[in-house]
Amino acid sequence: MKRLALLILVLGTAPVAARAETAKPIPLTLAPAAAPVPALKYLLLPELSEQTPGNAVQLYYRAFSPEWWTNVRKREVMEKVDKVSETPIAELKNSDLKWLLNYQALREVDRAARRAYCDWELTDRLKEDGIKLLIPDVQAMRDFAKFLAARARLEMAEGRLDKALDTLRTGFALARHVGDSVTLIQALVGNAVGAVMLTQLEELLRQPGSPNLYWALTDLPRPFIDLHKPLQGEKLWLFGTFPELREVDNPHLSPQQLERLQAIAAGLAKEQFDSANPPPDALTRLAVIGWVAKAYPAAKQALIATGRKPEEVEALPAVQVVLIESVRDFERRRDDMFKWTALPYTEARPGLMRVDRELKEARARRNGLSLAQLLLPAALKVVDATAKLDRRIAALRCVEAVRLHAAAHDGKPPASLADVKDVPIPTDPMTGKGFDYKVNGDTFTLSAGPPVGDSATPYNTLAYEVTLRK
């Protein structure tokens, strides 16, 4: 269950921030700026004209070449790269990390970001390995994002904003490529890479002479990370993890097949114990007998209710009946969860919350042979994280719309967002409502509250405090 643990680890960082009430405002000091001419002069993803034939993955993996990483993946070097993101741009002009500007591994990432497609070729492996699928390359993609962020800041320090934009385009393409795979973990990492790039985009907007990026932000895909493929991948790993369950409905199981089903039941039962202190086999066998006995009556009635003849169900071994119903329950709950993700966030969230609540209640009952209780992903948290990134993009579109308005009105921000007439003002994708906007002289705040029904936390709120400089 290592992959499940990793997903929980990735998602488990969000609630820590729930101690404060709202997010701390992100400060921006920006100059008014009109839209560029032509309007799409600046883009945040490579265009078709820049793309070359081939699979991006080949070049991403080439960027892993040991010769390029041996001297880079040293503790002291990585710590310096980390500090670049916290160092003011003006202090980076004499940085000893300027080698990043021509780091060959990043050149390969630049090329990969401009390939025609990206196929990680994990579908067949997921079918075979299931939840045991290893994806060790994902963490390196976070490192690439870290290096790209540092390179962009070094380019800003030299006043080369066009080069910094090229670097950010590589980063946004990397985010999309990482997220365009068959696991939710990769979708989450793609989302994290996108967030890193947005932080550096905010820094670029602070620089003198920064162009207005309203249309560049508007041109980004919505949602930025598409969850359709990862969610379809999540539907594959059940039988990859437990191939024996493909035959669970067979009324004529061999003794060997039945023994393998019993082994699956034992494995599921062990998940209910402390992994640091696994029980002896005898205790596990007793737990399986107890859970099967507890679950059998309801499982039997559920199968009969689907139209099966009572005598056919009664002829099956009890553990098989329980596992048949467990697979059926897993697929029902999984689809009941995943179907909502096809809707816009504000429509999907109430349904996802209901399914999530039902699953938590089922887990509280501790039926140790329930596949759904143990193995269904935390789809609500993944959807929340994806919508949070989309909200940030929408908020920056609003900021750029105000810059655009100010450029045509003596550098003054509008009294309200409704006064911006030249471009549409997006709504907050997490609430379906407009962003809250307040102006005080040359400074305005743009904020967004929590989704309906949630209490405000730094994780589910967003705020910008923007001062327009003359």
From the list 258, 176, 155, the residue with the least C-alpha distance to 222 is 176
From the list 411, 399, 401, 412, the residue with the least C-alpha distance to 35 is 401
Predicted confidence at residue 278, as pLDDT, reads: 59
Domain boundaries, the chain: 43-210, 240-378
From the list 203, 197, 201, 205, the residue with the least C-alpha distance to 174 is 197
Predicted confidence at residue 15, as pLDDT, reads: 45
Pairing of strands 436-440, 462-468: unpaired
In sequence order, the β-bridge partners of residue 284 are: none
Predicted confidence at residue 164, as pLDDT, reads: 98
Structure tokens that stand for 259 in this block: 């023994």
33, 469 Cβ separation under 8 angstroms: no
Rounded CA separation 190/119 (Å): 14
Predicted confidence at residue 294, as pLDDT, reads: 84
Predicted confidence at residue 369, as pLDDT, reads: 67
Phi, psi of 59 (to 5 degrees): -80, -35
291, 369 Cβ separation under 8 angstroms: yes
What distances in angstroms separate CA 35 from CA 210, 215, 381, 405, one per listed residue? 11, 8, 36, 10
Predicted confidence at residue 8, as pLDDT, reads: 40
Q: Give Cβ neighbours of residue 282 (< 8 Å, ≥ 6 apart).
A: none
Q: What one-letter code names the amino acid at 440?
A: N
224, 390 Cβ separation under 8 angstroms: yes
Predicted confidence at residue 38, as pLDDT, reads: 96
pTM of the complete model beyond 0.85: yes
Helix (H) or strand (E) segment spanning residue 164: helix 161-179
**Could you tell me the mean pLDDT of each successive run of 10 residues in the chain, 470 residues long?**
45 45 94 96 96 96 91 88 91 92 96 97 91 86 95 97 98 97 94 97 97 98 96 90 91 91 81 59 74 88 93 93 92 93 95 90 69 83 95 98 97 96 96 97 96 90 95
State the alpha helices, DSSP H only, in 64-160: 66-69, 75-84, 104-113, 123-129, 137-157
